Amino acid sequence: MSQTVPRVESPTELHELAQRLRIDILEMIAKANSGHPGGSLSAIDLITALYYAVLRHDPKNPTWADRDRFILSKGHACPALYAVMGEQGYFDKALFGTLRQLGSPLQGHPELGKLPGVEASTGSLGQGLSLGLGMAQGARINKSPARVFVLTGDGELDEGQIWEAALYGGAHGLDNVCVICDVNGQQLDNSTEKILPLGNLADKWRSFNWHVVEIDGHDMAQILKAYQEAAATKGKPTAIIARTVKGKGVSFMENQNEWHGTAPNAEQLATALAELKK
């Protein structure tokens, strides 16, 4: 089985794609007058590169048994996931305008069974890595080539279940798992450093027997190289620590914690879109 989405491996082209997807994200959230722009914008480069250049998947056959899996553990950033999936043909992009509406498959957090291609219901923070490790262990038992990617936020790393899962993944050498930590330095109402300092994240993951790659999470060349390194690493899972900017791409949103869960009004949307369309 081969996937039907064309590969895009040029960092420049991927950057341009991500910029267009940022527009989709903001328009969705503004239309809904509800959502989480900050963390969606910080994660979109990581998700774009994954779906266009790395993931083995097929929008025309979303239940393909040997597909790679992606779990958006920080489920509130789902506008980023929906933007990519819509552009790749998992659903009609006309649905973008239904984000967070009753009955829409584009709920405020991804919901398994509502939308083809969504692998897990997420948003109860801390659970995604455990789910991903279970999928990876199942793939190993079934001798499937499927790999599992889990994207977490750094605020989410305050959850104890993350570290229980990390212990399991390292102990069992699940090298078909890659966790991507979107480290934007902010969470709901303050910086991660002020709420609960995480210390040296690279050393933490290494202590659980994970291979660690540290990157600029907005540099497409670094992102692609990190995914390649994860695929080449055998005997242990990989943690990619991606340093990002909350609200990346819109000057008045960048590093401003009030944009964690605030929708832009019409004037703010126009300003943001003008910046992105440059």
**Which two tokens mark 98?**
């239904």
The one-letter amino acid code at 239 reads A
Q: Would 110 be classed as within a structural domain?
A: yes
Alpha-carbon distances of 132 from 2, 127, 171, 217, 231, rounded to whole Å: 23, 9, 15, 21, 16
pLDDT digits (tens, 9 = 90+) for 66-113: 999 999 999 999 999 999 999 999 999 999 999 999 999 999 999 999
Q: How many domains does the chain have?
A: 1
DSSP, residue by residue, 193-233:
HHHS----HHHHHHHTT-EEEEEETT-HHHHHHHHHHHHH-
pLDDT in tens, 195-225: 999 999 999 999 999 999 999 999 999 999 9
Backbone Cα Rg of the chain:
17
Q: Is residue 2 part of a domain?
A: no
- Residue 109: which domain range? 11-277
Percent of the chain residues past pLDDT 90, beyond the cut: 96
Predicted local distance difference test score (pLDDT) of residue 3: 63
Residue 60 lies in a domain: yes
5 falls within a domain: no
Tell whether 253 is covered by a domain: yes
DSSP reduced 3-state for 75: helix
CATH number at residue 18: 3.40.50.970
| Mean pLDDT, residues 114-130 | 96
Is residue 183 assigned to a domain? yes
Evaluate whether residue 79 is within a structural domain.
yes
Is 232's pLDDT higher than 50?
yes
Band (pLDDT 50/70/90 cuts) for residue 1 is very low
Residue 64 lies in a domain: yes
Quote the tokens at residue 218. Answer: 């907005």
The three state secondary structure string of 112-126 is CCCCCCCCCCCCCCC
